[in-house]
Amino acid sequence: MLRGFYTAASGMITQQRRTELLTNNMSNANTTGYKADQTSVRSFPEMLISNMGGKTIPTENKLGIPVLSQVGALSTGVYVQEANPLFNQGTLEETGINTDLALADENLPINEERRKGSVLFSVQDGDGGLRYTRNGSFTLDGQGYLTTPSGHYVLNDNKKPIKLESDRFTVTDNGAILEGNVQTARLGIGYSIDPSTQLMKDGEGLYRAVNDEELPSAYAALEGGFSTKQGFLEGSNVDQSRTMTEMMSAYRSFESSQKVLQAYDKSLDKAVNEVGRL
């Protein structure tokens, strides 16, 4: 019976974590470039339950031998194995602002897992490390450097901060930055063939590669397949209707596990306070 407590409790903890993750997705439904998290729920290994009995052999001494019969499998609960961002592209929204940039996934290759890769802007975090983002809501700081909303430098294809004379610049579809008719820089854009396993969220809309490895340049790894859109921003890819449905499902599952836990509690109360008196 005590094992049932743990099984029901594991179900409640799992659904609580799912609800927290889905709530976070909903709260970021209007965040530029946000990628919705998705959970992977797994069950713990099942236990095979057997019944130990006995059988008497009709001999002079009535010899008894043990008999083992299988009852069936017993689930030991579930857990959230991992939570990974879903890198489907969000809707591109036109803003008309020169410093707003978006990446359009037009014809990216599909990997062995039947998932599309992703391209991301390269930026520098506060410690000088290499990070990536899909949030192209950039601005120019007081020194003319192109920065993210959090103040991190946007990098060019040589991993150097991009410095511009003014916000009157042009970005071509292939990432080249023109001031007048002169190309002064090219956006640093990394390519991940499997972002759900190669990238981890690092806060403030940033991602870092596993083991802090550097993603290959999208220009070298791809022949087209994406383009840069100036004056556009990529919206969140959160499906609000689906997220609300999943939140209700998680709540009902939590409630079901809670009722099972209450039933076990009542059974134990009866065993201790009533049966125990006999």
pLDDT bucket at 172, cuts 50 / 70 / 90 = very high
Amino acid at 68: L
Q: In whole angstroms, what separates CA 275 from the centre of its chain?
A: 49
Burial class (CB in 10 A: 0-12, 13-18, 19+), 195: buried
pLDDT bucket at 108, cuts 50 / 70 / 90 = confident
278 has a pLDDT exceeding 60: no
71 has a pLDDT exceeding 90: no
- Residue-level pLDDT at 102: 96
Residue bearing the bigger pLDDT, 49 or 195: 195
90 has a pLDDT exceeding 60: yes
Show Cβ contacts of residue 156 under 8 Å, excluding neighbours closer than 6 positions: 162, 185, 186, 187, 188
37 has a pLDDT exceeding 80: yes
223 has a pLDDT exceeding 60: yes
Residue bearing the bigger pLDDT, 226 or 76: 226
Mean pLDDT of the chain: 86
Q: Average pLDDT in the 104-116 region? A: 79
- pLDDT tens digit string along 121-143? 999 988 889 999 999 999 999 99
- Residue-level pLDDT at 98: 93
Residue bearing the bigger pLDDT, 4 or 198: 198
The answer to whether the CB of 163 falls within 8 A of the CB of 145 is: yes
Q: What is the largest CA-CA distance in the chain?
A: 109
| pTM of the predicted model as reported, rounded to 2 decimal places | 0.80
Q: Which of 57-61, 141-145, 151-155, 250-254 shows the lowest mean pLDDT across its residues? A: 57-61
Please give the backbone phi and psi of residue 195, each rounded to the nearest 5 degrees, phi first.
Answer: -65, -25
Instruction: Find, among 160, 169, 112, 116, the residue nearest to 140 by Cα.
Output: 169
- Residue-level pLDDT at 225: 85
- Four-residue CA torsion sign, 218, 108, 177, 137: negative
Tell me the C-alpha distance between 78 and 65, whole Å.
38
pLDDT bucket at 7, cuts 50 / 70 / 90 = confident
Helix (H) or strand (E) run with residue 15 in it:
helix 2-27
Instruction: Find, among 56, 52, 74, the residue nearest to 64 by Cα.
Output: 56
